[in-house]
Copies of this chain bind each other. A is one copy, B any other.
Amino acid sequence: MDDGLNELFSALSDPTRRAILGRLAYGKATVAELAKPFKLSQPAISKHLKVLEEAGLIRSGREANSRPRELEPDAFKKISDWIADYRRFWDQNFDRLDDYLSTVQGNENDKSGD
């Protein structure tokens, strides 16, 4: 019933963690790279990464000596889905948007590129 929203929102409530996600939006990064912009200790960053990973927002890889992190899209989608339930409150175009989404999803190969 909860789908981890507690952990998700809680993880996002910290600015350091959001900044880390912002950095990861540009691509995979090691702990050291992620720690660089902050005045925090390395263990503090590791702790934040653990919180993010347990919330499902990132995942760890293994590359030689390091454990690079990258974003885990599903978690973002989960949040987006939650917020979408409130969309009608602020988005005047929401109804038509909804129509459009049904359209593209039911017509996947209509790739109107070029």
Contacts and interface: CB of A to CB of B under 8 A. Distances in A.
A102 to B, nearest CB: 11
Contacts of A112: 96
A96 B85 contact: no
Interface stretch (A4-12, A37-45, A61-69): A4-12
B83 A83 contact: yes
A85 B111 CA distance: 23
Contacts of A111: 96
A18 interface: yes
A45 to B, nearest CB: 18
Contact of A76 (B5, B10, B89): B89
A107 to B, nearest CB: 11
